[in-house]
Structure 1
């Protein structure tokens, strides 16, 4: 039993760590650019915020047009709407600075854990403008602002500090617990050079728990990334990566922690996977005065299939795992670009703003081909494809505690060419259309199972897989209403002064959601006809949630699927 609990504990501790190398077309909610808060900046921030001459605004504030403040201003835990003039330095911590026309700061401006919106016209700051997107962890004790170490911060005794640079050990999950790898654990080191344009190098080996203690090449992977900041303000970054890893074909709009718990506790892997090895170079930009992030990347990789293994799970091992889809194997060379816009007021629990992500990928070379067992006619080779991804989300507050959120997703091939299976899309399940089964809209990819001999030509233990992953294009629309329930609970007066008392306050809310989606495909390398899913699949549901934890019930509005799906989420629907 202790051995069975080991992967669960490791999943809980490590699965929430971000992957080193996100895919160019993986739909991910972008957080702040940059990493942990710079140690060189923290002492200056604390001295400024605790200076008796600093005007401190907790929770945000507004300086309207025509107002003149002749003192340094520090804003903690909220955004500042600046329309007037500040004679002195300005610091905004864990919030955005919104600059209106005519605003002016006669001094330095520092924004930590947020962004600068507006101010693109006339010069409005006379001093230095500095932006550090990594949030500052702090607490207020006896009216003084103190630094609070991150739970993941390493003890200083484990950090080799050489002044100009430091080396830190690296231990984290490189993905979710899954039926192919078990828990992939990255072990290595991080080197960071301190300068106006810092250089960061991550290097680590990947051990997969499903392989046990076998040290063989196919059981191990690696990740390497070197990223050089440019421009002096962190607005541009140039990077080089090298990797051998197992990657999910899609995130399925589920977090790594949710996927890991589903695999280990329920023996239901929410994702399908493939192997890739190669290198890439990229250029990334994030202007300090705009909530935009862009990335251009060139990749050369070798793709291959990933066999289902036998990782530990709490459910009985007699229940067979879902087969993996076949993937096009061979060299793949791609050019990719992506751009995201994020004006949400809160990246975790937004009530207002936009989140838009657009991505474009062009296959420029390579020789990927389907396995012979799938390519029953033709050579199994693919033409060069171009595919895109557009995800638009709008968050609206329509009352003091009422919200209306909407999402529109269109993703797929742009030039009428069938995509590689590992680049295809599918809908259905908790992350997209929860009223329908997982992969309900896969354009017939799972209508049949292909059996081939096992490793070494083993006839008694054949390997089963699906001939494809999903569609060459999908469209999805969702809308969600949120409102408060007439009940709440907060700690008693005896706990009112406790620093963590606010975390115990419970304010449950209700959710009503509807969704519709469809998918389409083109003739592929198997020589078969195009598969089309029609008409639209629709569903609706209700839920109750407290913070990110939610209980939901969803049911289909089409006759083809029946029944109610009850599920638990550890994050909001979208």
Structure 2
């Protein structure tokens, strides 16, 4: 019998929130995996930033700005939605909102430096007369009446209702330790709702050196598991990071995780709510258990480069029967089998992100490119895949393949309420042996191909083996997609009819005025 166990767990932990002053309710968007709480901007800091920006004596700048050497600004200076490169002199306080302060050699600020939603990078020869305050969390604001002043934006409920849990923290602004219990990922038909729990540590070892350790267990609420897995998973992660911008670091992970086959379509939150409310799970999953280590470089805020070596055991997992709000008496779509085995993967990825908002961007670029070279010496190919779909996979220990994924997006505002979004996506096999089932692709469904059914193009019509019945398995070697989207308002105006010829044009009860431009 299916029981709404997840709701009972969250209901049981919620009363503890009021018991401790440092305990916070954690709401985290887009929890695609185990959750780690992001920093939050204190209310008093946000109000102070708005007050300083709106002060009549403040010089206000918008977008990326630069003050070359030999130049001087007198009075307080505030920059929003862009970084400031400073090589000259500011006679006053510098405020940067949702950007970085980059202080070049010889830069002078006689007052304080306050950065909200960014970092400070400075040379050794920089002179600062006051204190330096850095708050990584961005400031949510709106522009008042089309003018130059700003005001705090109202709370965004889409960001609030995403991931629920509690966290108890100790420490200072430089070093912090926490105990957390929270929803650890996306509700799905394999795990139910995973609950992550355990300690988190973030320590400042030196002026520009930080160590982070996450030791989390993951309880899978769907239960009824086979001997291939248990009700518990885990994630142990350590990260040693040097600097803010530029930043360099190394990372090590040990994990027992239920991983998605395709995670580039709908957002994790959308997939989870669709599954929990309507028993429609738009992803497939497999069990991944292993180790990973890597290095990363972040020369500036938009750009990050990662290199990772990953070794894991990947195996098929069956769909369970977690409780849902609607259609609870119906059967879930079966989770398709994969090509089991131990895989070693070398992965290189590049991310470039200048979007002004990660959840609902209206301007900026986003690029994610990932190359993978992977292989297995004990792969067990699924026998039900015909040669018309893919060629044979060698089982003599020589199995290797190369895979590339590329996602480029551009967001442009074209009117006060309208914007144009462009996207080019391509990915799949680029060399070596055929791809395993867990690395194959498809197109269709609400995103990115709205108006078409789930996995409308999945290259699986020739797969008739009973193991794949009703699974709608993704089986394509490659996909490519170009998308243009307009989002805005259509003005619909009511008009009353009239008997006079002069008002003949107003007889229509509903008039479409067109795009809001």
User: What is the TM-score of this pair, normalised by structure 2?
Assistant: 0.72
- Distance in 2 (alpha carbons) for counterparts of 1:155 and 1:210: 21
Classify 1:13/1:227 alpha carbon distance in 2 versus 1 (closer, same or farther; 3 Å): closer
2:98 aligns with 95
Residue pair 1:208, 1:220 contacting (<8 A) in 2 also:
yes
- Is 1:363 the equivalent of 2:370? no
Residue pair 2:225, 2:231 contacting (<8 A) in 1 also:
no
Residue pair 2:278, 2:326 contacting (<8 A) in 1 also:
yes
Residue pair 1:88, 1:105 contacting (<8 A) in 2 also:
no
Classify 1:18/1:408 alpha carbon distance in 2 versus 1 (closer, same or farther; 3 Å): same
2:29 aligns with 16
The CA deviation at 1:342 is: 1.6
- Distance in 2 (alpha carbons) for counterparts of 1:366 and 1:7: 43
1:106 aligns with 108
Residue pair 1:34, 1:133 contacting (<8 A) in 2 also:
no
- Distance in 2 (alpha carbons) for counterparts of 1:297 and 1:219: 28
Q: 2:201 aligns with which of 186, 191, 203?
A: 191
2:303 aligns with 292
- Distance in 2 (alpha carbons) for counterparts of 1:406 and 1:415: 29
- Distance in 2 (alpha carbons) for counterparts of 1:250 and 1:92: 42
Residue pair 2:393, 2:433 contacting (<8 A) in 1 also:
no
Classify 1:260/1:210 alpha carbon distance in 2 versus 1 (closer, same or farther; 3 Å): same
Q: 2:482 aligns with which of 460, 477, 500?
A: 477
Residue pair 1:228, 1:239 contacting (<8 A) in 2 also:
yes
Residue pair 1:58, 1:78 contacting (<8 A) in 2 also:
no
2:137 aligns with 135
- Is 1:208 the equivalent of 2:220? yes
Classify 1:13/1:34 alpha carbon distance in 2 versus 1 (closer, same or farther; 3 Å): closer
- Is 1:313 the equivalent of 2:335? no
- Distance in 1 (alpha carbons) for counterparts of 2:5 and 2:226: 20
Q: 2:405 aligns with which of 385, 389, 392?
A: 389
Residue pair 2:98, 2:138 contacting (<8 A) in 1 also:
no
The CA deviation at 1:105 is: 4.2
The CA deviation at 1:383 is: 2.9
Residue pair 2:81, 2:97 contacting (<8 A) in 1 also:
yes
The CA deviation at 1:174 is: 2.6
Residue pair 1:429, 1:439 contacting (<8 A) in 2 also:
yes
The CA deviation at 1:206 is: 0.7
Q: 2:240 aligns with which of 224, 228, 233?
A: 228
SS at 2:481 equivalent? strand
Q: Deviations over 1:58-101 (max 9, x none)?
A: 794787879732234344x643677995424664444235989x
Residue pair 1:54, 1:73 contacting (<8 A) in 2 also:
no
- Is 1:351 the equivalent of 2:362? yes
Classify 1:10/1:486 alpha carbon distance in 2 versus 1 (closer, same or farther; 3 Å): farther
Q: 2:77 aligns with which of 73, 78, 96?
A: 73
- Is 1:432 the equivalent of 2:448? yes
- Distance in 2 (alpha carbons) for counterparts of 1:480 and 1:52: 35
* Structure 1: runs of 5 or more not aligned: 23-32, 452-462, 489-509, 513-543, 545-574
Q: Deviations over 1:483-505 (max 9, x none)?
A: 334489xxxxxxxxxxxxxxxxx
The CA deviation at 1:450 is: 2.0
Q: Spell out the pairing of 1:527-538 with structure 2 (5 A cutoff).
A: none
- Is 1:126 the equivalent of 2:142? no
- Distance in 2 (alpha carbons) for counterparts of 1:350 and 1:199: 31
The CA deviation at 1:297 is: 0.4
1:505 aligns with none
SS at 1:185 equivalent? strand
1:516 aligns with none
- Distance in 1 (alpha carbons) for counterparts of 2:243 and 2:253: 21
SS at 1:339 equivalent? strand
Residue pair 1:200, 1:228 contacting (<8 A) in 2 also:
yes
* Structure 2: runs of 5 or more not aligned: 12-24, 143-148, 494-512
User: What is the TM-score of this pair, normalised by structure 1?
Assistant: 0.66
The CA deviation at 1:259 is: 1.0
The CA deviation at 1:439 is: 1.0
The CA deviation at 1:8 is: 10
- Distance in 2 (alpha carbons) for counterparts of 1:14 and 1:394: 28
1:181 aligns with 191
- Distance in 1 (alpha carbons) for counterparts of 2:219 and 2:435: 31
1:169 aligns with 179
- Distance in 2 (alpha carbons) for counterparts of 1:275 and 1:155: 27
Classify 1:208/1:64 alpha carbon distance in 2 versus 1 (closer, same or farther; 3 Å): closer
Q: How many pairs were matched up?
A: 459
- Distance in 2 (alpha carbons) for counterparts of 1:280 and 1:323: 30
Classify 1:363/1:174 alpha carbon distance in 2 versus 1 (closer, same or farther; 3 Å): same
Q: 1:240 aligns with which of 252, 257, 260?
A: 252
SS at 1:264 equivalent? helix
SS at 2:464 equivalent? coil
- Distance in 2 (alpha carbons) for counterparts of 1:138 and 1:310: 40
1:493 aligns with none
Classify 1:159/1:439 alpha carbon distance in 2 versus 1 (closer, same or farther; 3 Å): same
- Distance in 1 (alpha carbons) for counterparts of 2:108 and 2:353: 28
Classify 1:417/1:138 alpha carbon distance in 2 versus 1 (closer, same or farther; 3 Å): closer
